[in-house]
Structure 1
């Protein structure tokens, strides 16, 4: 085993003084060497620390540059966001104004639809009531023309019957002519009797008296026959007048019947037009109700749009506020970043690394807090953008729904307008037909009244006939009386002839002839009486018919006046319907303007929704980019904080 060296103290005790000095020197050299080694180690450590500090400073400078780049990127994104928010806010304001415009137009449309529906319903009710009145008026006029037709036929029959009176008057005239001939013959026989009486001398005196009486009677009979002939002539004139009037009344009545039928045909057409008008008014009423429903749908869409616009504006305002806060934070970050960059430069030359690292750590911590604040604002912006995007989708869907509703309103309003045109055309046609019908009925009244007046005149003429016929009857009685007296005188003449004996033979022959003529005259007088009675019977029938026809004509004229009053009422009511249809046309014109205004609002809303959606997408992209930049900023500041910690550790 090796031998251990003795302890220093023991060795020193054994060493000599010379050796002791050498040991002291050696120890001092060792201390010096150690000091130098320490200094060299310290220098090497300082060099390593300086190199590390330089390296950290360079890394901090690099991180700061990245941070500055991220800040620039975030600022650019923030500016884009701000512009997008302004665009969204402007679009929301535009959409809100357009929605208000659409609501105003829809309210006007609602009013016009309500007014149109009320007018259409009133027109339907009025037209329904008028249809019954038209049917009743048509029935009344048909009854009138039936009576007028009957009167016309009876007038024609009366004309024929009266014409028969003229023939009977001719027969009376022929008989009277015979009577007049008998009177002439009797007068001649009386003259012969007077001659025979003169021949007989004293024996023919009584016969002369008879002859004179017979002559006087014959002259009276001839005068009566002449009077009858004159009366017959007057009767024939009156008969022709009455027959002509009756025939004209019959022909006029037939013409009035045709006019009346034309009126009833027009009323039938009016009733058919009214039925179609009712259908058109019902269509307008139904379409107005459908328009009102579509308007409710449109208003619902505009309310959604207005609400979405308000929310979009609120979200845009919130996003703008957050963007402003973010931009302010970015300015603070930018300032802090510049300070970091300066600190990084200072680190390269600053020997007090501890103090510098503390300042660097503090600044990094403040910057991290500011970035967190900016990042929170970024999250708020993202939330607002999502809300804006959702509102834009709702707004777009509501705009599409409103557009569909207003398109329906426009189409149905056009259909209402066309039906109003058709309805007005029918109303105008009805007014024209009613005017023509009223004129025709007025003419019918004039014709019927004329017939009544003609009947009155004819009745007076018939009365004249009755008077003349009675006069003939009286004259015939006189002729009969003359015949009886003549017959009696003939008997007396025969008696006188018998008394005269041989002188009265010629007188007896004359008396016999006179008696024969007297009998013939009496028989003819009876014929005249029979004919007169027949004429009287026919005149009575004609008179009764004429008076009855006149009464019927007056009654028909009165009824026709009622029909005229009904037509006037119908015309007045149709005029009111016409005013209603015109107001519907006016409403459709206003509706067209309101639809145009509403459509413009919808188009503006759709455009604003599209712009808002595009701006929201752009804002979302900017926000996403900004969020990414925020993450990069956060990472950069974390790196800087780590470097600060590393620097402190060095």
Structure 2
């Protein structure tokens, strides 16, 4: 757009006018870029500082305008010299026709340059838009990465906590397994003790049965002794009566001893019966003593078994206390495991949320990268268009150079 005044001024073949057009083009181009840098609502990411603006925008543009101005000035000077050296009318006419062709060709070149500059402006705008989109999406991607890092930093302590809880849970599980082994051992001991108690109780029952039988037999023997005592008592009474009768008969008979002999015979029989009875009593007493000995032995065994059962019961009581303590400890361990499980569940839920958040951010980053890729593709297309414009300008410059040389 700023080349058109220089091209138009070169038609008049006036070096001064060419220089004025060149200076005005440089001033207007520079002022336009400075105003765009200060007043643009969105800053150009390619020229964020005055240094970059001057070095990469204003300076190349000024150099380009100076080069094009120098070309137009040289064309004007050469044309002016050619026209001043011609005296022949025919040559002037040729020169006029040549200048006419040159003017037409310059006009075409100016139009081509104008169209090229418009295309270049569109390409520049496309580049600016693509750069803005790339910048925005780059910021989005960076924010997403920072958010992902924050979430990962949050997830790291939770992962460590889960690892510690799992380790503690494994240790508690090992302790619980050992407690179960201890409980099983105690249960087996209790089983043995209870079997001993059962066997002892059976022995006690047998001893009690033996004692009962012995006592019953002793009772029967005692009854027999009672009967024998009764017989002895009857014999004693009868002996007293016979003795009395013998005394009476002896008193009557005086010298005569017939009645006394009868009484004496009866007393002899009673004596024999008494001896036999006493023998039976002696035998019964021996049996009673034997049964008493058996009863005493059985009672001793019962006492011994009772002491053993007492010790077994004490052991069973201690084992039961051990089982109760182990059960209580297992309950506490199970409560601790339950709490750790809750913590693990809570931490797992937080990690799931974090993973979901990272997944959403990754999707946004993917979308942003897709936009960046599209912007890059647009930039590539714009670069190809710019190359075509540059080739077109080069062709028109070559044609203009051919016209000038002819």
TM-score calculated relative to the size of structure 2: 0.71
- 1:616-639 Cα distance to aligned partner (Å, 9 max, x none): 122112211112212322432443
The alpha carbon displacement at 1:514 in A equals 2.5
The alpha carbon displacement at 1:550 in A equals 0.3
The alpha carbon displacement at 1:112 in A equals 1.1
The alpha carbon displacement at 1:534 in A equals 0.5
**In the alignment, structure 1 residue 588 sits paired with structure 2 residue 341:** yes
Range with greater deviation from structure 2 (90-99 or 527-536): 90-99
Structure 2 equivalent of residue 543 of structure 1: 296
Structure 1 equivalent of residue 332 of structure 2: 579
Q: C-alpha distance in 2, partners of 1:190/1:637?
A: 179
Q: C-alpha distance in 2, partners of 1:44/1:638?
A: 28
Is there any run of 5+ residues in structure 1 with no aligned partner, and where?
A: 1-32, 204-499
**In the alignment, structure 1 residue 533 sits paired with structure 2 residue 263:** no
Secondary structure at the aligned position of 1:169 is classed as helix
Structure 2 equivalent of residue 147 of structure 1: 200
**In the alignment, structure 1 residue 56 sits paired with structure 2 residue 145:** no
**In the alignment, structure 1 residue 70 sits paired with structure 2 residue 114:** no
**In the alignment, structure 1 residue 196 sits paired with structure 2 residue 259:** no
Q: C-alpha distance in 1, partners of 2:156/2:87?
A: 98
- 1:394-423 Cα distance to aligned partner (Å, 9 max, x none): xxxxxxxxxxxxxxxxxxxxxxxxxxxxxx
The alpha carbon displacement at 1:542 in A equals 0.6
Structure 1 equivalent of residue 156 of structure 2: 103
Which of 141, 150, 169 is residue 88 of structure 1 equivalent to? 141
**Do the aligned residues in 2 keep the contact of 1:102 with 1:599 (CA within 8 Å)?**
no
Any residues of structure 2 matched to 1:510-521 within 5 Å, and which? 510-521=263-274
**In the alignment, structure 1 residue 618 sits paired with structure 2 residue 368:** no
**Do the aligned residues in 2 keep the contact of 1:73 with 1:629 (CA within 8 Å)?**
yes
Q: C-alpha distance in 2, partners of 1:633/1:91?
A: 34
Q: C-alpha distance in 2, partners of 1:643/1:193?
A: 193
Q: C-alpha distance in 2, partners of 1:98/1:630?
A: 40
**In the alignment, structure 1 residue 186 sits paired with structure 2 residue 246:** no
- 1:375-407 Cα distance to aligned partner (Å, 9 max, x none): xxxxxxxxxxxxxxxxxxxxxxxxxxxxxxxxx
**Do the aligned residues in 2 keep the contact of 1:67 with 1:637 (CA within 8 Å)?**
no
The alpha carbon displacement at 1:129 in A equals 4.3
Structure 2 equivalent of residue 609 of structure 1: 362
Q: Which has the higher helix share?
A: 1
Secondary structure at the aligned position of 1:58 is classed as helix
Q: C-alpha distance in 2, partners of 1:630/1:39?
A: 46
**In the alignment, structure 1 residue 171 sits paired with structure 2 residue 224:** yes
Which of 92, 102, 127 is residue 180 of structure 2 equivalent to? 127
Q: C-alpha distance in 2, partners of 1:549/1:169?
A: 24
Structure 2 equivalent of residue 271 of structure 1: none
The alpha carbon displacement at 1:123 in A equals 2.5
Which of 371, 381, 386 is residue 633 of structure 1 equivalent to? 386
**Do the aligned residues in 1 keep the contact of 2:131 with 2:375 (CA within 8 Å)?**
yes
- 1:66-109 Cα distance to aligned partner (Å, 9 max, x none): 11122222222222222222222222122222322332222111
- 1:19-55 Cα distance to aligned partner (Å, 9 max, x none): xxxxxxxxxxxxxx96433443333333322222221
Q: C-alpha distance in 2, partners of 1:195/1:645?
A: 199
Any residues of structure 2 matched to 1:348-497 within 5 Å, and which? none
**Do the aligned residues in 2 keep the contact of 1:101 with 1:597 (CA within 8 Å)?**
no
**In the alignment, structure 1 residue 117 sits paired with structure 2 residue 163:** no
Q: C-alpha distance in 1, partners of 2:347/2:391?
A: 63
Q: C-alpha distance in 2, partners of 1:636/1:191?
A: 180
Which of 206, 215, 222 is residue 162 of structure 1 equivalent to? 215
TM-score calculated relative to the size of structure 1: 0.46
**Do the aligned residues in 1 keep the contact of 2:210 with 2:295 (CA within 8 Å)?**
no
Q: C-alpha distance in 1, partners of 2:171/2:117?
A: 78
The alpha carbon displacement at 1:113 in A equals 1.1
**Superposed CA RMSD:** 2.5
Alignment CA distance shift 1:75-1:514 (3 Å): same
Range with greater deviation from structure 2 (189-198 or 558-567): 189-198
Q: C-alpha distance in 1, partners of 2:382/2:209?
A: 117
Which of 262, 270, 277 is residue 524 of structure 1 equivalent to? 277
**Do the aligned residues in 2 keep the contact of 1:109 with 1:591 (CA within 8 Å)?**
yes
**Do the aligned residues in 2 keep the contact of 1:91 with 1:609 (CA within 8 Å)?**
yes
Q: C-alpha distance in 2, partners of 1:90/1:137?
A: 69
The alpha carbon displacement at 1:170 in A equals 1.4
Q: C-alpha distance in 2, partners of 1:613/1:111?
A: 35
**Do the aligned residues in 2 keep the contact of 1:84 with 1:619 (CA within 8 Å)?**
yes
Q: C-alpha distance in 1, partners of 2:271/2:262?
A: 14
Q: C-alpha distance in 1, partners of 2:133/2:87?
A: 67
Structure 2 equivalent of residue 507 of structure 1: 260
Q: C-alpha distance in 2, partners of 1:527/1:83?
A: 132
The alpha carbon displacement at 1:589 in A equals 1.3
Q: C-alpha distance in 2, partners of 1:634/1:75?
A: 17
**Do the aligned residues in 1 keep the contact of 2:207 with 2:301 (CA within 8 Å)?**
no
Any residues of structure 2 matched to 1:274-285 within 5 Å, and which? none
Q: C-alpha distance in 2, partners of 1:197/1:84?
A: 161
The alpha carbon displacement at 1:545 in A equals 1.3
Structure 1 equivalent of residue 43 of structure 2: none
- 1:421-458 Cα distance to aligned partner (Å, 9 max, x none): xxxxxxxxxxxxxxxxxxxxxxxxxxxxxxxxxxxxxx
The alpha carbon displacement at 1:648 in A equals 6.3
Q: C-alpha distance in 2, partners of 1:44/1:122?
A: 112
Secondary structure at the aligned position of 2:156 is classed as helix
